[in-house]
Amino acid sequence: MKIPSRYTSPGVPFFIPSTETVPTVQDIHTALQSLAPDTLAEPWDNVGILAGSPAQPVHRILVALDPCIALAEQAVKRNCDLIITHHPIIFRPIKALHTNTPVGAFLAAVIRAGISVIACHTNLDSMAKGVSNALAQGLGLENIRPLVPSAHSCADQCGLGSIGTYPHPLPAAELIQRLQRFCAPEWLLDAGNRPESISRVAVCGGSGSDLAETALAQGAEVYITAEIKHNVARWAEEVGIWLVDAGHFPTENPAMPLFVQHLHDLLHSRTWTIPIELAEQEAPLRLLWSPTGS
Ligand SMILES: [Zn+2]
């Protein structure tokens, strides 16, 4: 949507047609289809414009992992009129909107403030430069490809999870140091046998327990993910893969600044020079106690 900019000279107001443009929510969502197309989302997911008006002009965008009340408050304070989250605010169909629930309160707050909401969830996971790819890059892996290639055709390789290699085997302790540096987790859990050195690593940001067998089948010596289920941890002991659980938020959130950069480049390529900000969020789970007192 084009808007004229108003300029004034002493005493004489006049308009100069401007090349500056302001996109609508729909414009942003349409542009996102070339970065993280909705068609890449899993069938059970809920992505796209989830709240607000597609026709609303967008002047400032706030990007975050989690939709929560504190995020709505940040968006209001920062004068943002579009929030893009990784996790969708509406996941299962809702039959009623009660503002004394977290979802209802979030939606009421954003609607009241004229803020629209887009979710990029498993489509952001699956895009070529998505969440797991960011984690694999952050660990310094090479020859990175998706762990489960998408059934959809993509210009670049896309799909869930990532697997890559180190040209020279890496001591396990060095891999853990890299994980600590990139994800800054408050804790790490592991299961199965820790190898001396590692050449092939599979990763999946977020809850990736279900891809552990795929990681093993593709020759990964270690699989880094979050929310590893008890039976999968026990299975790892039997089959000889090393599992590392670094937490849901820490394995996904480092991808958000990269998403902001990709979105910035995308919007600039369409001559939309609106600011894109990254929200301040922390992991909801903290380390309460450990036997070593750390
Ligand atoms: Zn997630």
DSSP string, 144-157: EEEEEE-SS--SS-
If you measure from the C-alpha of residue 19 to the centroid of ligand 1, how many angstroms do you get, rounded to a whole number?
A: 38
Cβ(202)–Cβ(228) under 8 Å?
no
Lowest average pLDDT, out of 109-113, 127-131, 207-211, 265-269, goes to 127-131
| Segment 34-88, tens digit of pLDDT | 999 999 999 999 999 999 999 999 999 999 999 999 999 999 999 999 999 999 9
Q: How far apart are CA 225 and CA 120, in angstroms?
A: 20
If you measure from the C-alpha of residue 133 to the centroid of ligand 1, how many angstroms do you get, rounded to a whole number?
A: 14
If you measure from the C-alpha of residue 147 to the centroid of ligand 1, how many angstroms do you get, rounded to a whole number?
A: 17
Q: Closest Cα to residue 204, out of 42, 93, 48? A: 42
pLDDT at 290 over 70: yes
If you measure from the C-alpha of residue 253 to the centroid of ligand 1, how many angstroms do you get, rounded to a whole number?
A: 9
Q: How far apart are CA 168 and CA 170, in angstroms?
A: 6
pLDDT of res. 154: 78
pLDDT at 284 over 80: yes
First to last CA, the chain: 54
pLDDT at 16 over 80: no
Q: What is the mean pLDDT of the chain?
A: 92
Domains of the chain: 5-121+255-278 (3.40.1390.30), 127-246 (3.40.1390.30)
pLDDT at 155 over 80: no
If you measure from the C-alpha of residue 185 to the centroid of ligand 1, how many angstroms do you get, rounded to a whole number?
A: 15
If you measure from the C-alpha of residue 41 to the centroid of ligand 1, how many angstroms do you get, rounded to a whole number?
A: 13
Opening angle at CA 118, ends 117 and 124, nearest 5: 150
Greater pLDDT, 233 or 9: 233
Cβ(214)–Cβ(188) under 8 Å?
no
Q: Could you give the dihedral angle defined by the CA atoms of residues 166, 168, 169 and 172, in that order, rounded to the nearest 10 degrees? A: -70
If you measure from the C-alpha of residue 87 to the centroid of ligand 1, how many angstroms do you get, rounded to a whole number?
A: 6
pLDDT at 15 over 90: no
If you measure from the C-alpha of residue 202 to the centroid of ligand 1, how many angstroms do you get, rounded to a whole number?
A: 17
If you measure from the C-alpha of residue 207 to the centroid of ligand 1, how many angstroms do you get, rounded to a whole number?
A: 6
pLDDT at 110 over 50: yes
pLDDT band at 19 (very low <50, low <70, confident <90, very high): low
pLDDT band at 293 (very low <50, low <70, confident <90, very high): low
If you measure from the C-alpha of residue 251 to the centroid of ligand 1, how many angstroms do you get, rounded to a whole number?
A: 9
| Segment 170-183, tens digit of pLDDT | 999 999 999 999 99
pLDDT of res. 20: 61
Q: How far apart are CA 240 and CA 76, in angstroms?
A: 50
Indicate the residue type of 33. Answer: Q
pLDDT of res. 1: 44
